[in-house]
A and B are shown apart, each in its own frame.
Chain A
Amino acid sequence: MDSDLSPQDKKDLDKFIKFFALKTVQVIVQARLGEKVCTRSLSSPTGSDWFNLAIKDIPEVTHESKKALAGQLPGIERSMCVEISLKTSEGDSMELETWCLEMNEKCDRDIKVSYTVYNRMSLLLKSLLAITRVTPAYKLSRKQGHDYVILYRIYFGEVQLTGLGEGFQTVRVGVVGTPIGTITLSCAYRTNLAFMSTRAPGEDEGAYNGVEDSQEVCTTSFSTSPPSQMGVPGKEGGVPQQVPVQPCHGAQAEHRRVSSCPPADHVPATPSSSGEDAETSSRSVGVKSGSPCGLLETTFTRKVGAFVNKPGTKVTTASLDLPFAAFAPRAYDLEENDPMVQPPESSATSSPLQGSLHSQGSGESGGPAQDDFVMVDFKPAFSKDDLLPMDLGTFYREFQNPPQLTSLTIDVSSQSMAEDLDALPEKLAVYEKNIDEFDAFVDTLQ
């Protein structure tokens, strides 16, 4: 099969395929870093820009690619795949897409290696640049940060698409015919963002024990992380649950996250900054699984806000017949346990980020907890503390903790409600007896 190819051409072709594979991975990973990519055009070639394209080489990514390849080249039944997944701060993860660089047996023996194949590989990389901005994972990756991160994994061997859920779509980026086979580049991406949580209890990280695992449907529940997060207007929100990660064959790299490199116009000499331990650092809870593409369907589970332990009792208004039952003293009790009001101890794995979010959360305590605060020398704004026996400050202090309204006290109100219900038939009987009086009264009004 290779006898038609001169040794020099064969050598060139192998080199092209190797660097094409490395550049493909760079383009894909850089497109998922969450930042805009910008490289300069150079009218004079530097000699180091493969395929006449300015594509930076992030050293960590090159290292992972070479590790996955382990000295081999993509070939027939030896595909190189880049798997992109999303991982939330709670530890749930979901495969978003898999990019596959494959080769089939269809050969183009007449094609010129050093010219046509090279230029077509260049064209294919340009197509890859364009397509990586179009799949749904791009928008998700641009919004990654506190709530979730995007990870990549390179593997070599058989293509695994089972982790993408049902109904995944495929887009073909392009093909390049070569004398030893046809290289194809494609992407399979998930369309269904709903997935089951199969996270084992032991995987919960320190401060986030007891997050709801069941599948309650909740229409709009938002993370209580600071408003600096995602801007997608709240159509959807919810904790996506974890899909079981399929074990794969072939040489594998663990999921890696690359933090964005400092922007460099030319080939970067700077090593990438640490981002590899993103999986272990804890972040604030709450995932925005916004729908970037109309094809996506989502189901939701109840989202629990940052730093919140699983509530002991579920208070729903359905369980109480009263109006404003949610404001009844039972809610008061819950608030005493509410970590938003009384923040828990920071866990050992907290990052500085968590610490700053922490303080933001605790500042929001409400009325009933005011006993914890001692007001010293309260001077309300715009008040004049002059001759009046009671100034604004005194008034405020005295009436700070008014007693609960009796109508909002459960026991009393439920008793009176029961009494009222019992008295109702008697009252109705009385009114019916006096019906003539009422009619006369109505007539006088007219």
Chain B
Amino acid sequence: MNCRSEVLEVSVEGRQVDEAMLALLHTILLHRSTGKFHYKKEGTYSIGTVGTQDIDCDYIDFSFVRVSSDELDRVIRKAVGEFKDAMGNGTDGMGQISLEFYQKKKSRWPFSDECIPWEVWSIKVNVVNLANEQERQICREKVGEKLGEKVINIVEVINQHEYLPKMPTQSEVDNVFDTSLKDVQPYLYKITFQITDTLGTSVSTTMRRLIKDTLAL
């Protein structure tokens, strides 16, 4: 099965990085989260309800909708915060944050479980520094418009109804969904990032994270 890969590119000012990433990641997760599954006898299950909430950005003329789950929001904010820190403050730079949806496939001992991605969203970020307030004001609006276009792109891709994992049985649910949250159930996902500094040399943290994940399993 091929993994679908989508790339989104945005140019933002330093202080807009957090909100821009949150906006796009949450928009994707909104579409890739369901309510909590409650399995009943005879293999049927019921699904909980997903609430939504509007979030206004402070540094961008933009509002987006995310799933009403503080837990999920915390996890995403932490990842975005790490990405922002890695990007550094006050310098121009480029980076990429990836949201990967995967399925776990149980392997026999001694092999560890395989993670098979089925959809990867890569958001390429170009950070610029602006000289004055007027430029920042224009940037607020322009980035807001750009994010709007990206949301439309995301919705277009999602609407193509390509591969989605089959709904799992109770024993398999943890191979498809992240069941650790109390209120919603996103598909299993992981967030990784790469930074390219202004000199063009690539400082990759992906390998480090992959190793960490493998050891965690």
Taking Cβ atoms with an 8 Å cutoff, the residues of A that contact B are 36-46, 49, 52-54, 115, 120, 123-124, 126-127, 129-131, 133-134, 138-139, 142, 171-175, 233, 292-294
Contacts and interface: CB of A to CB of B under 8 A. Distances in A.
A37 B35 CA distance: 19
A134 B148 contact: yes
A123 B151 CA distance: 14
A43 B35 contact: yes
B49 A53 contact: yes
Contact of A41 (B137, B155, B184): B184
Interface stretch (B64-72, B77-85, B118-126, B194-202): B64-72
Nearest to B72: A41
A41 B183 CA distance: 6
Given A38-B53, A233-B137, A130 B151 contact: yes
Interface in B34-55: 34-36, 38, 46-54
Given A39-B68, A42-B183, A45-B47, A53 B52 contact: yes
Nearest to A139: B61
Size class of the B contact interface (CB-based, 8 Å):
35 or more
B116 interface: no
A124 to B, nearest CB: 8
A44 B50 contact: no
A133 B31 contact: no
B99 interface: no
A37 B52 contact: yes
Interface stretch (B5-13, B89-97, B156-164, B208-216): B156-164
A133 B35 contact: no
Contacts, number: 119
B27 interface: yes
Interface in B136-163: 137, 141-142, 145, 148, 151-152, 154-156, 158-159, 161
B35 A42 contact: yes
A21 B141 CA distance: 33
Given A115-B167, A130-B27, A174-B158, 10 more contacts: A42-B35, A42-B51, A45-B49, A53-B51, A130-B151, A130-B155, A133-B54, A133-B64, A139-B61, A292-B61
Contacts of B27: 130
A238 to B, nearest CB: 19
B158 A43 contact: no
A43 B53 contact: no
B56 interface: yes
A256 B137 CA distance: 35
B155 A127 contact: yes
List the 3 closest pairs (A to B, CB-CB), nearest first: A36-B54, A39-B51, A174-B159
A40 B51 contact: yes
Contact of B49 (A52, A133, A173): A52
